[in-house]
Amino acid sequence: MDSTVSHSLRLRFDLAYDGTDFHGWARQEGLRTVEGLLAAALDTATGAAHRLTVAGRTDAGVHARGQVVHVDVGEAELDRAVGRSGLEATEALRRRLAALLARESDGPRGTSDLVVTKVSYAPAGFDARFSALSRSYTYRICDDPRSYDPLRRRDVLWLGERLDVDAMNRAARPLLGEHDFLSYCKPREGATTIRELQRLEAVRTAGLVEVTAQADAFCHSMVRALVGALMRVGTGRRGEDWPSRRLAERSRDTGEAVVAPPHPLTLESVRYPPDGELAGRARLTRARRDCG
């Protein structure tokens, strides 16, 4: 059957990945990326090329536990992926992708640094990017050299200075809400830098300092720039009012931008509204933000 005329099904993929050996999410010619590897596996399984839509692009070295993607697949293509497995179609596709991805990893046999944890039929109106209410990231720091764990070196920043977590949280509070975060972003041409920062909090737990950032969406490098500013406060290099003053400047040209390293950052989750509100949320998000 010609997949161009067969009925199309929208699928949701839930993903987790170790970003260490990826050059970020977006497909780039000649480079190993999350999108490139996943798309290649899907195309092999279905026998057709597909366009993936992701909830949030991650930079090179950034990890994910709760990334979300949607893709439109023809019925005939899905049938090809299922084959004679006898399994429900979405589970058969998940297993097929797991086998293909494991072949492309340099890790221990049978493992992969990219895992599709779930494949499901997307509800009507679902858009992985535009239907999302929020994205939540965690940045992990060890500020006690006696506690450096070499098994966590790929997702924890080793810092030789003690952080003042209370000062970091006091500095974070004025950043909450809807603002123009130009001072904390690498702006893309034609894209707004207005975002609603819903949570920015540092917590000392299990020997680490974990900074959680949640927003309706994030600009390029925004989370790492926010963490970098809070770390400046936490080490005493800047006063607690400095991050809010940087926000008010609305400029990347002051030489004050501090972007924390990417490897301790993990996309933890993406939150969506109830099924009946997915399409409306997508329409609202597509409208350009305006602080009024």
Q: Name which of 64, 229, 205 is nearest 143 in CA terms.
A: 205
CB-CB contact of 215 with 198 (8 Å): yes
Residues facing residue 15 across a β-bridge: 67, 116
In whole angstroms, give the CA distance from residue 259 to residue 77.
43
How many CB atoms lie under 10 A from the CB of residue 69? 23
Q: Name which of 255, 260, 259, 233 is nearest 244 in CA terms.
A: 233
Residue 59 appears among annotated catalytic residues: yes
The active-site residue out of 18, 59, 143, 155 is: 59
CA distances from 261 to 12, 86, 134 (A): 30, 46, 23
Residues facing residue 265 across a β-bridge: 139
Q: Phi and psi of 3, rounded to 5°?
A: -65, -15
Q: What Rg, from alpha-carbon coordinates, does the chain have?
A: 21
At 35, which helix (H) or strand (E)? helix 34-46
Provide CB contacts within 8 A for 174, sequence distance 6+.
Answer: 243, 244, 247
- 9-28 in b/e form (b: 16+ CB < 10 A) is bbbbbbbbbbbeebbbbebe
Positions annotated as catalytic residues are: 59
